[in-house]
Amino acid sequence: MKKQQTPPAFTHSLANLVNKIDTTVHSEAVGTVMSFGDGVVKVKGLDDVQSGELIDLGKEQFGLALNLEKDSTGIVVLGDAGHLSAGTTVKRTGRILSIGAADSILGRVVDALGQAVDGKEEIHVDKYMLMEKKAPGIMPRKSVSVPMQTGIKAIDAMIPIGRGQRELIIGDRSTGKTAVALGTILNQADQDVICVYVCIGQKASSLAQTIQVLEDRGAMSYTTIVAATASSTAAEQFLAPYAGQSIAEYFLEKGKDVLIIFDDLTKHAQAYREISLLLRRPSGREAYPGDVFYLHSRLLERACRLNDENGGGSVTALPIIETQANDVSAYIPTNVISITDGQIYLEADLFNSGMKPAINVGLSVSRVGSAAQRKAMKQVAGTMKLDLAQFRELQAFAQFSSDLDDKTKAILDRGEHVNAILKQGWDAPLKMEEQVIVIYAAVKGYLDGVAIENMQKWESEYVTFMYSSYPQILESIAKEQKIIESTEEELQSAIKAFNDTHPDLVPVVEE
C-alpha cells in the first residue's frame, strides 16, 4: 500500500543510494581524551597516528594532530569542540590535511578548510590539494621573466616584481599595505592572472569591505578569498596561508599564473605562537617557537615559476608584515625579509605627508624583478631612480640654506615633480604603457612648469588626451614593449601639444 503512495522514481533513487552504503565493520584506531582546554586536546591511544593527520572528534568536528609523544598525542581543534570531555573517544581518519579545489572556487570566499563561508552554493570539489606540500625543486623551476604588473607607478618603475617572485610588503599599521595588495589584484583584470587573497586574523569588517571593493570592481571573477578572521581559532589562522597556497597550486598545475597575497604573516606567526605555547613546545625569541622561520620559509618557497615542461605556470607571493614603530629588526620581519626576494617598505611619515602610496623608494628593493621588467619601463625608470636619489641627497641640504645655485635648484625641482608623479590612488592602477608615457614626461622635464598641486590633474587629463588624440603611441609601446625612436619623437610632440593647449595647468614660460 505505502509503496504505491510514494512516487516510484523517488523510492528507486533512495534505494540506489542506500544500496551503495557500506556498513561492514572495520578496525578503527581510536584514542581517549585525557584533557581538553584552550583548543588543545591531549589524547591517549591513537596508535600509528601521523603528524598533520586529521582526527575525527565526532559531531562533524575535526582536529589536527601536531604533537606526537610517547604515550599521548597533542591535537589542535579546528572549529568548535565543546562536546569533548575527558574519556570521549576520537578516531583517526587516515587523511592528511587537504583542501578541495575546483575552477568554480574563483569568486568565492572559503575558510581555512575550504568550506564556503559566503552563503552561496556548495563548491563541487574537482581535486583535493595537500595543504603541506614540498616546494618544487630546482629542476622544474625557471627564472623570472614575465613582469607582474601592479599598476602602481612607483613599484612597476623602481621595484619591479616578476611572476614567480616573492615580494614582501612591510610597514606599520595603516600605511596602506593592504591597499597596495588590493590595487595589484584590481590591475590583474586583463592580465590573465588568478588571484588568491588570504586573510589571516583581520577584522571581519575590514574583510567584508575588501570583498565589497573587489566585487564592485569586478575583480572577484578571478579571485578567491581564504578567510580566517580574528574570530577564527588560532588553528584556522595557522592553516589559512597553506590552504591559500594549495588553491594557488591547483591553478599552477593547470599552467596558470597565480598571485597570492598573505595578509598578514605577523598574525600568522602569532597564531602559531599561541598554538605552540598551548602545546607546551619550548619557546625562543619573543616567545616564538624554534620552527617559526621554517613556518614561513616552507610556505614562501612554494612560490615559483615553473619551466615549460612543467606547465610554465607561476605563483607570485606578496606576503604582508606589520611592524611596530618602524622596527624592521624585530624577529618576524627580519625572518620574512630574508626569505623573500625583496621588500616594499611603507612608511607612516610619508603616508602622513600625503605621499600615497607611502613607499620608501630608498629602502625598498626587488632582487629579481628587474630581469622581468619591460624595456620601455627600463628606458624611463633608469633616469627616474637617479633623479630621486639626487633629490633625496640634496633635500637635506636645501633645508639649511636658502641660497642655492641654479643647478641644485633644478635638481630639487625635478625631484619634487618626479616624486609628485609617483602619487597615485590605490584603486586607480595604470597600464604599463600609460605609466611609461607619464613617467617619460616627468623625467624629461616636461612637467617642471606644472604646479605640484596640479600634477594629478595634469596626469589624468594627459592620459585621456593621449588616448583620444595619439592612441598609436600607446599601442606602439604596448606592442613593442619598448619606446622605439619614431614613437619617442611622436611622444615628445604629443606632450608639447598637450602642454600648449592647457595653459591652466602648464603656465607659459615668459622668455
Partner 1 sequence: MKTTTITVIATSALELTKVQVETISTAVKKKYDVSSVTIEKVVNPALIGGIKLTINSVEFDGTVQGKLAKIRSQLLNQL
The DSSP code for 81 is: -
* Catalytic positions, written as ranges: 367
Q: Is 71 in the site for partner 1 (CB under 8 A)?
A: no
Which of 18, 138, 325, 508 touches partner 1 (CB under 8 A)?
18
Q: Applying CB under 8 A, which of residues 30, 213, 278, 371 lies at the interface with partner 1? A: 30
Tell me if residue 127 falls in helix, strand or coil: strand
Of 261, 87, 138, residue with least CA distance to 188: 261
Residue closer to partner 1 by CB (options 13, 324) is 13
Smallest gap, in angstroms, from Cβ of residue 21 to partner 1? 5
In this complex, which beta carbon is closest to partner 1, that of residue 32 or of residue 383? 32
Among 19, 47, 508, 509, which residue sits at the site for partner 1 (rule: CB under 8 A)?
47
Length of the chain: 511
CA distance to 7, 8, 9, 12, 308, per residue, from 3 (Å): 8, 8, 11, 11, 60
33, 41, 46, 432: which one binds partner 1 (CB under 8 A): 46
In the complex, least distance from residue 128 CB atom to partner 1, rounded to whole angstroms: 13
Nearest to 457 by CA among 495, 423, 416, 493: 423
Q: Which stretch binds partner 1 (CB under 8 A): 22-30, 160-168, 183-191, 489-497?
A: 22-30
Cα gap 13→169, rounded to integer Å: 54
- Residue of 27, 85, 329, 401 interacting with partner 1 (CB under 8 A): 27
Could you tell me the smallest distance in angstroms from the CB atom of residue 342 to partner 1? 46
What 8-state DSSP symbol labels residue 73? E
Binding region for partner 1 (CB under 8 A) out of 12-20, 292-300, 319-327, 455-463: 12-20
The yes or no reply on residue 9 touching partner 1 (CB under 8 A) is no
Please, what is the minimum distance in Å from the beta carbon of residue 89 to partner 1? 7
Closer to partner 1 at the Cβ: 25 or 325? Answer: 25
**Binding residues for partner 1, how many (CB under 8 A)?**
20
Q: How far apart are CA 382 and CA 325, in angstroms?
A: 32
Give DSSP secondary structure letters for 189-241.
Answer: GGTTEEEEEEEES--HHHHHHHHHHHHHTT-GGGEEEEEE-TTS-HHHHHHHH
Binder among 67, 68, 88, 91 for partner 1 (CB under 8 A): 91
Cα 212 to Cα 3, 65, 182, 343, distances in angstroms: 51, 36, 12, 28
Residue 151: CB minimum distance to partner 1, A = 43
- At residue 193, φ and ψ (nearest 5 deg) are -120, 140
- Which residue's CB is nearer to partner 1, number 47 or number 485? 47
CB of 239 to partner 1, least distance (A): 22
Shortest gap between Cβ of 47 and partner 1 (angstroms)?
5
Given candidates 31, 39, 136, 313, which one binds partner 1 under the rule CB under 8 A? 31
Nearer to partner 1 (CB atom), residue 92 or residue 296? 92
1 or 21: CB nearest partner 1: 21
**Counting beta carbons within 10 angstroms of the beta carbon of residue 383, is it exposed (0 to 12), middle (13 to 18) or buried (19 or more)?**
middle
Beta pairing partners, 379: none
Helix (H) or strand (E) holding 42: strand 40-45
189-226: burial string, b at 16+ Cβ within 10 Å, e else: bebebbbbbbbbbbeeeebeebbebbeeeebbebbbbb
Helix (H) or strand (E) holding 78: strand 73-78
| Residue 28 binds partner 1, judged by CB under 8 A | yes
Is 104 or 326 the residue whose CB approaches partner 1 more closely?
Answer: 104
| Options 9, 25, 508, 509; binder of partner 1; rule CB under 8 A | 25
**Which residues are at the interface with partner 1 (CB under 8 A)?**
17-18, 20-23, 25-32, 44-47, 89, 91
